[in-house]
Amino acid sequence: MYSHPVDRSDGLRYDQTVMLVTPKSLAGYPEKLRRVKYFDAEREKQLVFLTNNFVLPALTITKLYKCRWQIELFFKWIKQHLRIKAFYGTSDNAVKTQIWIAVSTYVLVAIIRKRLHLEMNLYTILQILSVTLFEKVQLDQLFANYDYKKLPEFKEKQCNQLNLFDY
């Protein structure tokens, strides 16, 4: 509909007021929207943000979206690294407690890895700790003498079941 002036030295490319035009999108949101285009010099990418906030300056909008993206990346990291398969409780406190325990465990294992100068990844260290949980061995000796190829995911599967087809 119309454009607002921007300071291009900040990375802003445009600040526009727009309306959705397709019938379905217009029915879903008939109000005006704000479209801000920003060039991220660090990543050399053009980013376009769509918002209904007309009060904040365009540069603030871009900074807010960058912060929101960091939060999204954090939750993605949680899903990939903390291995929370199911929550044992559904209350806010139960979920927060389980996440804090998982984060604390991850941080403790990362500290162990750094202090002992271990080359193996954190998942392997966690696997070794879970297998040797009740053994009375010092950590530095445990990782110095441990053969990670004995872990279940590295072993060839041996079972008593006969194969249907022998090749």
Q: Is residue 166 part of a domain?
A: no
Number of domains in the chain: 2
| Same domain, residue pair 38 and 68 | yes
Q: Which of 27, 43, 72 is the last residue of a domain?
A: 72
Q: Is residue 99 part of a domain?
A: yes
- Measured distance CA(78)–CA(58) in Å, rounded: 31
| Same domain, residue pair 101 and 133 | yes
Question: pLDDT tens, position by position, for the chain (167 residues)?
Answer: 999 999 888 899 999 999 999 999 989 999 999 999 999 888 899 999 999 999 999 999 999 988 888 888 887 877 777 777 778 888 889 888 988 888 898 889 889 889 888 888 888 888 888 888 888 888 878 777 656 555 555 444 455 555 555 54
Statement: the pTM of the whole predicted model exceeds 0.85:
no
